[in-house]
């Protein structure tokens, strides 16, 4: 039983914006007690990165941020060697049972999210979002009810991507399921119903496109066309970064589904969130804004 493999130490408020704020909780996993100062630094680094990411950069005062220190017996995460996992065989005893090859999927880093939420329910009952940092430098993470990511360089972007799924209902904008170049079938042409998520669509009628008010009249719809719908579209963007249109390839399909910008964090971790995703986030965060505290103009948004 993993709950014996460590101790819940307590909670530290990293940012206090008042009781109305959106409560973001950062939890440690796989840090021994003596390593919790490292977790404190990792949590602060993540918070700083998060608040440098638009649109969160303009709304820092809408968030409360908590750090929950949980000490594990051992360091790191499990990395099963058997079967398809092919890992190192590491088997540390950690509080939330973090492991690569989670659910038998190689490279997937997960943990006991049910236990995480029980701990956070006791520490920060009014939590809105939970992120777990796993003390391993191997790149990885996962989503679901809590966002999980490792200490590897760039892995914190997994946390932000998954947080945007869980907290704001944003869809994935990439145009494949198992990967480009895998020869996958069944993802050539999206013919389904209109996706309910705000940042992907099957409808590119200029008058009814769900993000149509963001699209300039001179922007072609579709903005890109995939010449071979059996594959991912290899072409570069024909328009400047940040241009909103309807780019072919999204929602796990090479054609027939469209995304608002050529790239976005919901498509490529290292990229900024697109304007449409940012707008959705701002709409959903609005109830957490303190009275009289509103965002300053953002670069190149034309809203200030």
Using CB under 8 A, which residues numbered 82 to 111 contact another protein?
102-108, 110
CB of 36 or CB of 116, closer to another protein: 116
State in angstroms the smallest separation of the CB of 213 from another protein: 4
Indicate the SS3 state at residue 302.
coil
Q: Does residue number 29 form part of the binding site for another protein (CB under 8 A)?
A: no
User: CA dist 214 to 60, 132, 219, 283, 296, Å?
Assistant: 25, 35, 10, 15, 20
State in angstroms the smallest separation of the CB of 34 from another protein: 29
220, 243 in Cβ contact below 8 A?
no
Q: Which of residues 210-249 bind another protein (CB under 8 A)?
A: 213-218, 244
Measured CA to CA, the distance from residue 149 to residue 49 in angstroms comes to: 14
Measured CA to CA, the distance from residue 126 to residue 139 in angstroms comes to: 30
Check residue 219 and report its DSSP letter.
S
State in angstroms the smallest separation of the CB of 36 from another protein: 25
Q: Does residue number 3 form part of the binding site for another protein (CB under 8 A)?
A: no
CB of 105 or CB of 241, closer to another protein: 105
- Cross-strand bridge partners of residue 148: 132, 142
Q: Does residue number 206 form part of the binding site for another protein (CB under 8 A)?
A: no
CB of 193 or CB of 236, closer to another protein: 193
Piece of the chain touching another protein by CB under 8 A; list 39-47, 69-77, 181-189, 227-235: 181-189
Q: Does residue number 37 form part of the binding site for another protein (CB under 8 A)?
A: no
State in angstroms the smallest separation of the CB of 241 from another protein: 13
Measured CA to CA, the distance from residue 300 to residue 304 in angstroms comes to: 9
Q: Which of residues 111-140 bind another protein (CB under 8 A)?
A: 113-114, 117, 121, 125-126, 128, 139-140
User: Angle 178-180-185 (CA atoms, 0-180°, nearest 5)?
Assistant: 60
- Letters for 247-276 (x = contact with another protein by CB under 8 A, - = none) are ----xxx--------------xxx----x-
State in angstroms the smallest separation of the CB of 23 from another protein: 9
Task: Give the residue carrying structure tokens 């408020």.
Answer: 13
Q: Which of residues 44-73 bind another protein (CB under 8 A)?
A: none
- Alpha carbon 70 to its chain centroid, in Å, reads 23
Question: Closest Cα to residue 26, out of 8, 39, 9?
Answer: 39
Phi-psi region of 189 (alpha: psi -120 to 50; beta: other; left: phi over 0): beta
Number of residues that bind another protein (CB under 8 A): 87
Piece of the chain touching another protein by CB under 8 A; list 38-46, 71-79, 228-236, 281-289: 281-289
Q: Does residue number 290 form part of the binding site for another protein (CB under 8 A)?
A: no
Measured CA to CA, the distance from residue 201 to residue 274 in angstroms comes to: 14
């Amino acid at each position: 039983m993993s709950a014996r493999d460590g101790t819940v130490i307590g909670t530290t408020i990293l940012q206090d914006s008042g009781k109305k704020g959106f409560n973001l909780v950062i939890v440690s996993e796989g840090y021994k007690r003596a390593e919790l100062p490292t977790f404190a630094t990792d949590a602060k680094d993540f918070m700083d990165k998060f608040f440098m990411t638009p649109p969160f950069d303009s709304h820092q005062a809408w968030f409360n941020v908590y750090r929950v220190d949980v000490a594990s017996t051992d360091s790191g995460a499990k990395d099963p060697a058997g079967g398809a996992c092919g890992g190192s065989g590491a088997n540390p005893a950690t509080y939330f049972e973090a492991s690569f090859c989670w659910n038998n999927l190689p490279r997937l880093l997960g943990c006991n999210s049910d236990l995480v939420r029980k701990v956070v329910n006791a520490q920060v009952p009014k939590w809105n979002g939970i992120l777990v940092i796993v003390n391993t430098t191997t790149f990885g993470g996962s989503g679901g009810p809590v966002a999980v990511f490792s200490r590897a360089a760039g892995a914190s972007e997994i946390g932000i991507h998954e947080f945007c799924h869980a907290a704001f209902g944003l869809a994935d904008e990439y145009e494949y399921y198992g990967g480009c170049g895998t020869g996958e079938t069944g993802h050539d042409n999206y013919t389904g119903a209109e996706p309910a998520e705000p940042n992907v669509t099957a409808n590119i009628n200029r008058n009814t496109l769900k993000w149509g008010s963001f699209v300039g009249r001179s922007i072609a719809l579709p903005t890109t066309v995939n010449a071979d719908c059996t594959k991912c579209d290899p072409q570069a963007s024909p328009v400047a970064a940040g241009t909103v249109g309807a780019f072919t390839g999204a929602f796990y399909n090479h054609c027939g589904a469209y995304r608002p910008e050529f790239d976005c964090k919901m498509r490529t971790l290292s990229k900024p969130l697109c304007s449409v995703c940012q707008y959705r986030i701002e709409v959903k965060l609005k109830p957490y804004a303190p009275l009289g505290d509103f965002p300053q103009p953002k670069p190149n948004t034309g809203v200030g």
